[in-house]
Amino acid sequence: MRLVPLTLLERLADQAPLQPFDERGEKRPVQLEELHLSGPMDAFAGEPLHRPPFTFEDEPRPVNNYGRTKVAGEAAVRAACARSYIIRTSWVYGSGKNSFLCTVHDDLNAGRKVRAIDDIWSSTTYVDDLIDRVMAIHATGRHGIYHVVNQGVCTYHEFALEAGRLLGLTRVQTDALIEITHERDMKRVAPRPRYTPLRCLLSEQLGLPAMRDWRAALAAFVKDRPSSV
Residues identified as active-site: 66
> Does residue 224 sit in helix, strand or coil?
helix
Q: Where are the alpha helices (DSSP H) in the chain?
A: 6-15, 65-80, 100-109, 127-140, 156-167, 171-177, 201-206, 214-224
Residues 6 or more apart whose CB falls under 8 angstroms from that of 228 comprise 106, 110
What's the gap between Cα 183 and its chain centre? 20
3 state DSSP class of 109: helix
Q: Which whole-number Å values give the CA distances from 177 to 1, 39, 109, 166, in the listed order?
A: 27, 29, 10, 15
- Please give the single-letter amino acid code of residue 214: W
10 Å CB burial of residue 200 (0-12, 13-18, 19+) is buried
Angle 200-216-67 (CA atoms, 0-180°, nearest 5)? 40
